Each structure stands twice: as structure tokens, then as C-alpha cells.
Structure 1
């Protein structure tokens, strides 16, 4: 960010669809939260002295449960967005409806915008305006330029995974799964031991003379089982587990 003049910005949290105004201390490029007095650090705080006349510390009662420490948050990188003045925002996902965008000018981190609980986060400095939306998207503009129209936030649909198990002609078991990343077939032994998995990226496999394939037929995906030992007889299933086609090869004379 440009530091051609001192700026002091305010910080306000607002409801979803609005923005959170962040403020900068003098000399910074983006805003910190409103100033809160920090506790004064005095000599001896890090290594407190022991009073010989003080009574001994009483141990915790037997059977008392230790206080669980909070789980550390995990920042998952999402994307990098170039801002209107040439700086960038690196977006990270912290959790559901919780995103953070680190504002960087070169290798210098200026500040972090935080969108949490459905509220957007807004920062400005030296004519640059930046908004981090609740879905993790970032928009920016300069003074005098048209403000981008805010995009309507649509909560992503959570697609539930469904599956069905079918007994195969070779006595193995196939679990046909329609999941968030597409369809797949998990081939297992009757005792439940997983042998292999096929999906759109690896749509075919061969096991002891039997071939298992995923075949796309228009918008529908079929699961095909081919008996290589028996001359090529095949069975075709849909992802509801129904046998929809069967082909029998006539024996050679």
C-alpha cells in the first residue's frame, strides 16, 4: 500500500450483506481493531519470585478433570486476489463461514481482513477499498472508480453422499457411491476387505480375470462388470443398484 499520507481508519462490525470497517494506526497500511489497553509487563512477571512465608500450593483434588485446551485453528489457503492498487489479498479458510484475507504489498503484510459469522469485512487506505465477503471472495476499487456491485451471497449447497451395496456375479461386493466429488465404485471381498476403487479419473480396473468399469451414457453413469474368464459375459448396473442390462456371450463351437 502507499504510505504517502497518514491515515486513521475506524473499525465497525456489521450484519451479513454489509461490511466491517477496519482502521489503521498511524503509519500502517490497513486497520487493526480498536485500540485496547494491553496489560503492563513488569519486571519479574516472566519468572515470579517465591515468597518463603507463603503457604505451599494445594494440588488439585484427586479425580478432577484437567481443563481442555482450545484446539488450534487451521488456516487453509484458498486463493490470491490482485487488488485495485497492485497489492494482493491472500485468502484463507478457517472454518464454516470464517475466512481471512492477508493484505500484502510485496513481501510486507499490511493487515488481515476477517469475515466471520456471515458478516463481510471492509478496509480502506489511501483511496483503496477492499471487501472480504462471507463466502471468501474479495473485491476492491479505488476512489473515483465505479464501486463493484455486491454479489448476492449464496450459501453453498451441501450435497449428501448416498451409496448402495450389490452382490456381484463373482461373489465380490460393490458399493456404488454418489458423492460430492462424483460417482465411484468400491470393490470389496465378501468379508469387507477393500480391493480397489474406480472413479471418473480411474474408470476401469482388472481383478483376477474380472473387469470393472464406469461408463458414461449421456448424463447417466453405469457400472459394468465383465467376466473375462467366462468368455466375456457382462452385467450393467445403475447407481441405484439395479441390474439394467445383461449380455451373454455364446460359447465358441
Structure 2
């Protein structure tokens, strides 16, 4: 980034009571550190010769599986750079820190430990759940937001009683499990209950049923003895429709 001197990366994996320094590739601007001295060559000991035209070969461990990085999201950081988050496995996430097309660092959170990096006043933390937070020097460190408690809605039951054309009584109930109608005799004896699962009943030539009309549920009473006259109520107990069948000639 702005610093062109030879630098090394420094990332810190933060666990409970432990700080681990992660060795990172040379060339990043994350946390400058002095150049590492070349190892001393002692007299009488030759350096191993290396043919630059022959690439080194390393046999992969037997039974090892290739690492698969699954892209999760991209997060814009406090200085305008971007963290691209990848899921590697259970409790294992990585975040590539990018300034344009230049990768500055890769933070690794594994085994429940957060990973921390900094560069030119930018601080970045990759949390164990794959979320990323960042802030600049002089700005307050973001605090985890507490989970907001949402009080469950407690739906109260309401009901209304209406006298039916057959002199029976219907109790229309709007309850926690939906709407229902309880059909009783005038003396209070319960005859039938209808609801969306059992939407109709037949009693002595009269039919009682629940009918859904869009978002509204209607209670319908049909006089089978009188030729099919019908009455329609809403669940406030109001008569909203009435149909009269013309007598046969």
C-alpha cells in the first residue's frame, strides 16, 4: 500500500487468554517488521546447490483432502479496502484483505479463535462465526451488538354470540389457533364446533359452515328445510349478506 519498504505481515489469532503470532508472506503492508537476516555460512560448509530451472517437489500427505474455500460475503472495511470471507469448514473461516487488486493479508479464524490484523491505522478482526469488524486508529472499537429480545406476540381470544334464524346460538371465536364457531341450543347445550379443519356441520336440516373470502373468514347459515335461504356473518357478529331463494311456482 503506501509503505514501499520491504515488510512482513503480522496477524494475531486471539483465543481465550492466548495470543499467537501468525507467519505471513513478505510483501504486505500489514504491520511493518524489520527484514530477517540471511543465515550465516560457516567456513568449510558448502551451501546446497539449487537448479532454478527445476521446481521443488513436495509429495502431498497420504490421505489428505484438498482445501475447498466457499465464498461467503464481501465486507467493506473502515479505510475503504475490502475483506472477502470464505468458509473452509466447521469453525474455520478465512478473510482475504484486498486493496483494489492487491491482497494485503489473509486472516484465519479456526477452532473458535478470532484473527486480528492491522495496517496503517486500520484494524480488522475476523470473528469465529465469519463476521468481520474494522476500525481506524482514533475511532472507537466496535462493540458486539447484543441480541435484541423480541417479545412474542400474545394473541388474545375474542368472541361474540349471535342468535341464529333457527333459534339456535352461535359463538364466533377468534382465538390463538384461528377462527371457530360453536353451535349451541338456546339452553346452552353444545351441538357442534366448526373450524378450518372441520369447516361445516349439519343439524336437523340446517347447515353451518366457515367460508374463506380472501383474508376474511365468514360464518354461513343455510336453511335446508326452507329451500336454501342463507345468512352470512362476519366474526364481529354482523349480518353482512342474506340470500333468499324464490319459492317454486
TM-score, structure 2 normalization: 0.42
Structure with greater Cα Rg? 2
| Superposed CA offset, 1:113-145 (max 9, x none) | 999999999999999999999999999999999
> What is the CA distance between 1:153 and its match in structure 2?
3.0
Q: Secondary structure at the match of 1:9?
A: strand
Greater shift, 105-114 or 219-228, is seen at: 105-114
Distance 1:192 1:61 in 2: 81
Give the RMSD, CA atoms, in angstroms.
15.2
> What is the CA distance between 1:206 and its match in structure 2?
0.5
CA contact (8 A) 1:184 1:198 kept: yes
> What is the CA distance between 1:155 and its match in structure 2?
1.7
| Superposed CA offset, 1:79-102 (max 9, x none) | 999999999999999999999999
- Change in CA separation of 1:185 and 1:136 when aligned onto 2, cut-off 3 Å: farther
- Change in CA separation of 1:228 and 1:160 when aligned onto 2, cut-off 3 Å: same
Report which structure shows greater RCO (CA 8 Å, sep ≥6). Answer: 1
Q: Secondary structure at the match of 2:15?
A: coil
Runs (4+) of structure 1 exceeding 6 A deviation are 1-67, 74-151
> What is the CA distance between 1:154 and its match in structure 2?
1.4
> What is the CA distance between 1:178 and its match in structure 2?
0.3
CA contact (8 A) 1:124 1:130 kept: yes
- Change in CA separation of 1:156 and 1:176 when aligned onto 2, cut-off 3 Å: same
Distance 1:94 1:16 in 2: 22
- Change in CA separation of 1:181 and 1:248 when aligned onto 2, cut-off 3 Å: same
Residue of structure 2 equivalent to 1:20: 20
CA contact (8 A) 1:7 1:25 kept: no
- Change in CA separation of 1:143 and 1:239 when aligned onto 2, cut-off 3 Å: farther
| Superposed CA offset, 1:165-200 (max 9, x none) | 000000000000000000000000000011000000
The structure in which a higher percent of residues are strand is 2
CA contact (8 A) 1:23 1:31 kept: no
CA contact (8 A) 2:113 2:127 kept: yes
CA contact (8 A) 1:188 1:195 kept: yes
Consecutive unaligned residues in structure 2, runs of 5 or more: none
Greater shift, 50-59 or 176-185, is seen at: 50-59
> What is the CA distance between 1:216 and its match in structure 2?
0.6
Greater shift, 145-154 or 51-60, is seen at: 51-60
Residue of structure 2 equivalent to 1:122: 116
- Change in CA separation of 1:126 and 1:62 when aligned onto 2, cut-off 3 Å: closer
CA contact (8 A) 2:30 2:120 kept: no
Greater shift, 94-103 or 133-142, is seen at: 94-103
- Change in CA separation of 1:147 and 1:39 when aligned onto 2, cut-off 3 Å: same
How many residues align structurally? Answer: 247
TM-score, structure 1 normalization: 0.42
Distance 1:232 1:48 in 2: 105
Consecutive unaligned residues in structure 1, runs of 5 or more: 68-73
- Change in CA separation of 1:140 and 1:52 when aligned onto 2, cut-off 3 Å: closer
- Change in CA separation of 1:29 and 1:56 when aligned onto 2, cut-off 3 Å: closer
- Change in CA separation of 1:52 and 1:102 when aligned onto 2, cut-off 3 Å: closer
